[in-house]
Structure 1
Amino acid sequence: MRITTALTALTLLPTALLAGNHALQTPVEYGPRPAYLVDKLPEGALKDKLASCMGQTPQQTAFSIGHRGAPLLFPEHTVESNVAAARMGAGILECDVTFTADHELVCRHAQNDLHTTTNILVSDLADKCTADFTPAAEDSAASAECRTSDLTLAEFQTLTPKMDSADKTATTAEEYQGGVAPFRTQLYSDGAHLMTHAESIALFKSLGAKFTPELKSPSVEMPHNGFSQEDYAQKMIEEYKAAGVPASDVWAQSFNLDDVLYWIKAEPEFGKQAVYLVEWSDGFDEQDQSTWSQDFAQLKAQGVEYIGASLNMLLTNEDGKLAASAYAKAAKAADMKLIAWTLERSGPLASGGGWYFRSVGDIISDDSDYLVALDVLAQDAGVEGVFSDWPATVTYYANCMGL
């Protein structure tokens, strides 16, 4: 059932889950994970400092950013995932923005991820997918491709979200629903709810959080039925204006520099905090400026103030210890504001941390290195905030350090 509340004229989310009344009355809680990570730290100043904060009262902080909510345990970009993130003190929440066939904005990490993040392949809408389910064979993995642009908004809203996963060995669409990473869970997937972008604004606002929407690259050719890239970028901003959200509460993101430059020119108040996203690519060397592909002075001259960089660009191995990379130090020296993504997305770190920690995988030992990396990012790289799949860890650190 969907309702309208005094919070907004938009059609909102299910009454029992809309956080307008009940999340704001729920204190921020850390849960057991931050203490678990502190206990695992080796003896030393960082452990002493973080252990000294065990009795502190948790507070919401903008340094802690919910990455798609709290998808370590909850289906990403759902009401439940974001309520969980807010309850862990995330002061900024994210909606990755894409569009439907009728050009309505919805929260999905990619325009073409419905086959892994929803039940579409086992629903009546399966025949609308760009690419049907193909079972695994001896020489090929199971596959499918289902896009938000394959559906109208009304159709999208009938889908059931699930943990992002796919069983590439599946021979049926039902089997393909599996494949959840072993460090994630399905305990909190039942009854989760998708969101439109406008609904996310209303929810985040009711939770007392600020906003960092990411304009996702379309999987369809643009313009799409007359809907241009500029229309897309503008519509995202218009939904904040319609909801009465001040530009100072919004950090609009894109990997497409043209989107960022568009906001700077067309919506200068929102453009002040527009975030240019960058990530590790083949050939990148965090110590070698010739491989960075970003000229900080040029970005500043164009009005770009924020860079959102992947962790592997910001961390390096310095004499066997985690340290801020030359890239991070150069960005800081150029007065660029850095945001780091994404902590606690790699699962247990005993095996080196995977892609997010690839620049330091040889010195990553266990999950306590999440806190060591966080300390380096905050104190040495000087980041403005850190995305995490489980925001309580970042919240605890930020509260303890007074960030």
Structure 2
Amino acid sequence: MTRIGFLALATALPGMALAESHMAEGGAALSYGERPFFLIDAMEEGALKDKLMSCQGQTPERTAFSIAHRGAPLMIPEHTKQSYVAGARQGAGIVECDVTFTADHELVCRHAQNDLATTTDILVTDLAGKCTTGFTPAGEGADAGAECRTSDLTLAEFRTLSPKMDASDASAATPEEFQGGTAPWRTDLYVAGAELMTHAESIALIDSLGADFTPELKAASVEMPHEGFSQEDYAQKMIDEYKDAGIDPSRVWAQSFDLDDIKYWIENEPEFGAQAVYLDDRYEAEDDDEGLIDPNDPSTFKPTMQELADLGLTYIAPPMWMLVTTDEAGGIVPSAYAEEAKAAGLEIITWTLERSGPLAEGGGWYFQSVSEAIDDDGDTYAMLDALAQDVGVTGVFSDWPATVTYYANCVGL
């Protein structure tokens, strides 16, 4: 049987399958838009392109294989109401809110506790004086910069900010100039009117859109415990907001880069811990080289995949490049890391497609292990196909979920 033939046999895992009612719910009609077709047109001729071309008339369906990474931040400010709606409209079955906290320990959706200087207008508001580190202009070889944390503000103050695309102008002489810097392959077209969200508000919105949830508990920029608010309090509060909203645990994939958070959920909230997702970042260990993972050398996997599985872990989520390498013919194939994870019975989710910008120069950080096989935007689907078919990932985060939704719908995932 050909590789494409195998695609018809693919089925969603029980834990990742959306309930039938959620497939039909949601006030927004699903739409692929133009981007999947732009990428397909750019592909090299072959069986995969032919298969994807054959699906141009299909009706979009929501799929849990497609995960909205911060919403749809390729074009819309991340972690905003509008970005989440766009991700759901593109058929993402799961939508991500990165979770951090304010000075009064309220949970809000931000990629990092200290990213307000680049993701909001705080530096040009009266709240600029509350930033951990105020604006410093560029000069004498140093870039312009500032550090503004959600923990610098109360929830009421946070709500007054206006979101923007995550960007800054390193050459800025003023806070106003620092607001720029949006990459040319992104856009500021959809910034006006974008709205920040609390974690609880994101739950209500995503539920209303017919999608499920993958909140990520972000590392605090402040020392923990913070004014009596411990790491365990933080991890528990995130779960409590789903319980308070009446969300079935089977619809929640709680994420963290901190293995201790995963252990906490497994031990204290087993229904939620059963689907907890360990975001594996051992590729950038800081303490010593023994913590660094070589994706093609299982002896560096400390803890090993089997040890992670023995903890009760079900899902592991490394970046895309950790899961693939190239063979002698230059094709994209599974890495030893991917093979070991599957052998231990771990399910794999990966990140992040559509985050690297144009792929003409090898795809950057997210494609670093297969850069020699990446030379244009059409290779977005070559990478996705290798992850889905050869690695066997359960889901893929994307900054523009329609790309993954189209593929999943076409091949029957």
CA distance in 1, matches of 2:196, 2:132: 21
CA distance in 2: counterparts of 1:210 and 1:61, whole angstroms:
10
Match of 1:225 among 220, 224, 227: 227
TM-score of the pair, normalised by structure 2: 0.91
Q: Give the corresponding residue for 1:43.
A: 45
Query: In structure 2, what is the equivalent of residue 16 of structure 1?
Result: none
Could you tell me how far apart the structure 1 residues matched to 2:386 and 2:90 are? 22
CA shift, 1:400, in A, is: 0.5
Give the distance between the partners of 2:385 and 2:302, measured in 1 at CA. Answer: 27
Root-mean-square deviation over aligned CA pairs? 1.1
Structure 2 Cα separation of the partners of residues 294 and 75 of structure 1: 36
Which residue in the other structure is 1:243 paired with? 245
Between Structure 1 and Structure 2, the one with more helix by share is 2
Aligned to 2:308: 299
Mean Cα deviation higher: 287-296 or 229-238:
287-296
1:28 to 27, 30, 34: 30
The counterpart of 1:387, out of the listed 365, 388, 397, is 397
Unaligned runs of 5+ in 1: 1-22
Q: 2:22 corresponds to which residue?
A: none
- d(CA) in 2 for partners of 1:123, 1:26: 34
Partners of 2:43 and 2:118 lie apart in 1 by 35
C-alpha distance in structure 2 between counterparts of 1:182 and 1:278, whole Å:
30
For 1:136, what is the secondary structure of its paired residue? Answer: coil
Is 1:313 the counterpart of 2:322 in the alignment?
Answer: yes
Pair 1:338 & 2:348 matched: yes
**Residue 284 of structure 2 corresponds to residue 281 of structure 1:** yes
* One-letter amino acid matched to 1:254: S
Cα offset, 1:44, TM superposition: 1.1
- The letter for the 2-side match of 1:256 is D
Alpha-carbon spacing, 1:362–1:284, altered in 2? closer, same or farther (3 Å): farther
The one-character-per-residue Cα deviations of 1:86-107 (angstroms, maximum 9, x if unpaired) are 1100010000000000000000
Within the candidate set 121, 124, 127, 2:123 is matched to: 121
Separation in 1 of the partners of 2:28 and 2:124?
Answer: 36
The alpha-carbon deviation at position 317 of structure 1 amounts to 1.1
Match for 1:389: what amino acid? D
CA distance in 1 between counterparts of 2:300 and 2:360 reads 29
**Could you tell me which residue of structure 2 aligns to residue 200 of structure 1?**
202
Partners of 1:190 and 1:294 lie apart in 2 by 46
Amino acid paired to 2:115: D
Q: Counterpart of 2:16? A: none
Tell me which amino acid in the other structure corresponds to 1:158.
T
Distance 2:301 2:284 in 1: 9
Q: Alpha-carbon deviation of 1:141?
A: 0.7
Give the partner amino acid of 1:297.
Answer: Q
Deviation at 1:26, TM superposition (A): 3.0
Distance 1:285 1:302 in 2: 22
Q: Secondary structure at the match of 1:92?
A: strand
1:293 & 1:186 partners in 2: Cα distance?
42
Cα drift, residue 164 of structure 1: 0.2
Aligned to 1:290: 299
Measure the CA separation in 1 of the matches of 2:302 and 2:367.
Answer: 20
Could you tell me whether the CA contact under 8 Å between 2:27 and 2:209 is conserved in 1? no
Corresponding residue to 1:397 among 364, 387, 407: 407
Distance 2:280 2:379 in 1: 23
The alpha carbon displacement at 1:292 in A equals: 3.0
Q: Tell me, in whole angstroms, the C-alpha distance in 2 between the residues paired with 1:103 and 1:253.
A: 19
**Cα offset for 1:146?**
0.1
TM-score (norm 1): 0.93
Alignment correspondent of 2:288 = none
Pairwise CA distance, 1:294: 3.7
State the alpha-carbon separation in 1 of the partners of residues 239 and 27 from structure 2: 29
Task: State the 4+ residue runs in structure 1 displaced beyond 3 angstroms.
Answer: none
1:15 is matched with which residue? none
Corresponding residue for residue 17 of structure 1 = none
**1:375 corresponds to which letter in structure 2?**
D
Cα deviations by residue, 1:133-165 (Å, 9 ceiling, x for unpaired): 000002211110000000000000000000000
The aligned residue for residue 11 of structure 1 is none
1:1-400 to 2 correspondence within 5 Å?
Answer: 24-279=26-281, 280-281=283-284, 284-319=293-328, 320-400=330-410
Query: Which amino acid letter does the alignment assign opposite residue 310 of structure 2?
Result: A
User: Does the residue aligned with 2:223 lie in a helix, a strand or coil?
Assistant: coil
Q: CA deviation at 1:281?
A: 2.7
Aligned to 2:18: none
Letter in 2 for 1:317: T
For structure 2, list consecutive stretches of 5 or more residues without a partner in the other structure: 1-24, 286-291
Distance in 1 (alpha carbons) for counterparts of 2:243 and 2:95: 17
Moved more, 289-298 or 46-55: 289-298
**Paired amino acid for 1:143:** G
* Number of aligned positions between the proteins: 381
For 2:303 and 2:31, locate their aligned partners in 1 and report how far apart those are by CA, in whole Å: 39
Identity of aligned residues (%): 66
